[in-house]
Amino acid sequence: MSKRILVTGGSGFLGSHLCERLLAKGHEVLCVDNYFTGRRTNVAHLLSNSGFELLRHDVTFPLYAEVDEIYNLACPASPVHYQFDPVQTTKTSVHGAINMLGLAKRVQAKIFQASTSEVYGDPAVHPQTEDYWGRVNPIGPRSCYDEGKRCAETLFFDYRRQHGLRIKVARIFNTYGPRMHPNDGRVVSNFIVQALKGVPITLYGDGRQTRSFCFVDDLVEGFLRLMDTPDEVTGPVNLGNPYEFSILELAEKVLELTGSRSEIVYRPLPENDPIQRQPDISKAKDLLDWKPTVQLEEGLSRTIAYFEVVLRGKPGG
């Protein structure tokens, strides 16, 4: 059955891929973005679709629309962007959640929150399970994002308890793929852009810190499966790739796939940057029958191909 679906942050990296998938399933999509980090070029190819509508709007202000489902993805998600205006970042997470939850309450829509593995902070348990409460610095330079997302989760569950809202909360681990912002400061885009430009690849710390990277197509599939679960399934559910590897290994793989001769240089580790980040996805496997299927080499190759087009000055796809 066709639904009318609101996607906030819909012209961003994740949002644009989600809009594509929803349209492909026959739904009408209202894509909302203020273009702080999202880009119109990410959804330009969707504008000719009669089921797609694009609206410039900041979720820190109320929005009135008649929709069946809401995916709340609006928030800058990379340190270079969310630290640029930390007060606005917190407002986007907290006021944005309040406004979208208020809309969901008014129109009785099901609502999905794109939360983050950052709610675990610099974790003292490994890998991270959803029942771990986290180890977050509430006053550090990353707190605007970490604590904003934690507060948004609180709001979602309080709206469920107090108003009976149908909620879904996903905790997203590191994700990569086409349409990443080339200047977002994230490690995958950094390494690929540096390698393609032939400039030194910057590693922070000793390169032994680990991450787990999920390709965007796999992540969006997880979104859709979580949204389609029965109402009693609320999450939070970890969505990410449990295959863990070091940042140095990632840099070496990017160099191999690009054929770049860039050298690797080392810089100090940023404050509060977690040393380990790996999801336990047992819940996603059990509840959603979901696990990542795109291997790192394939995903990196597709992402590199995208950035090759971007760096030639074309919008890419």
What's the chain's average pLDDT? Answer: 93
Distance CA 282, CA 303 (A): 27
The one catalytic residue in 71, 120, 145, 176 is 145
Active site residue 145: yes
Tell me the mean pLDDT in the region 274-279: 78
pLDDT of residue 314: 56
| pLDDT tens per residue, range 46-67 | 999 999 999 999 999 999 999 9
Contact 316, 304 (CB under 8 A): no
Domain containing residue 115: CATH number: 3.40.50.720
In the predicted structure, residue 260 carries a pLDDT above the cut 80: yes
Ramachandran category for residue 264: left, alpha or beta (phi over 0 → left; psi -120 to 50 → alpha) = beta
For 70, phi then psi, to 5°, come to -130, 130
Q: Which residue reads 């885009």 in tokens?
A: 189
Domain tally, the chain:
1
| pLDDT tens per residue, range 62-89 | 999 999 999 999 998 767 777 878 999 9
Percentage of the chain lying above the pLDDT 70 cut: 97
∠ Cα 44 49 54 (to 5°): 55
Percentage of the chain lying above the pLDDT 90 cut: 80
Distance CA 100, CA 102 (A): 5
| 184 located within any domain | no
Q: Are strands 110-116 and 167-172 parallel, antiparallel or unpaired?
A: parallel
| 43 located within any domain | yes
pLDDT of residue 317: 46
Distance CA 257, CA 308 (A): 12
Q: Of the given ranges (8-17, 29-38, 120-129, 289-298), which has the lowest mean pLDDT?
A: 120-129
pLDDT of residue 274: 67
3-state secondary structure of 104: helix
pLDDT of residue 255: 97
Tell me the mean pLDDT in the region 221-249: 96
Q: What confidence tier does 223 reach under pLDDT thresholds 50, 70, 90?
A: very high
| 134 located within any domain | yes
| 254 located within any domain | no
CA-wise closest residue to 303 among 184, 209, 223: 184
Ramachandran category for residue 280: left, alpha or beta (phi over 0 → left; psi -120 to 50 → alpha) = beta
| pLDDT tens per residue, range 104-162 | 999 999 999 999 999 999 888 889 999 999 999 999 898 999 999 999 999 999 999 99
Q: Which residue reads 């995208």 in tokens?
A: 306
| 270 located within any domain | no
Omega within 30 of 0 (cis) for the link into 279: no
| 253 located within any domain | no
* Containing structural domain, residue 220: 4-176+213-241+276-293
Q: What is the number of other CB atoms lying within 10 angstroms of the CB of residue 265? A: 11
| 217 located within any domain | yes
| 95 located within any domain | yes
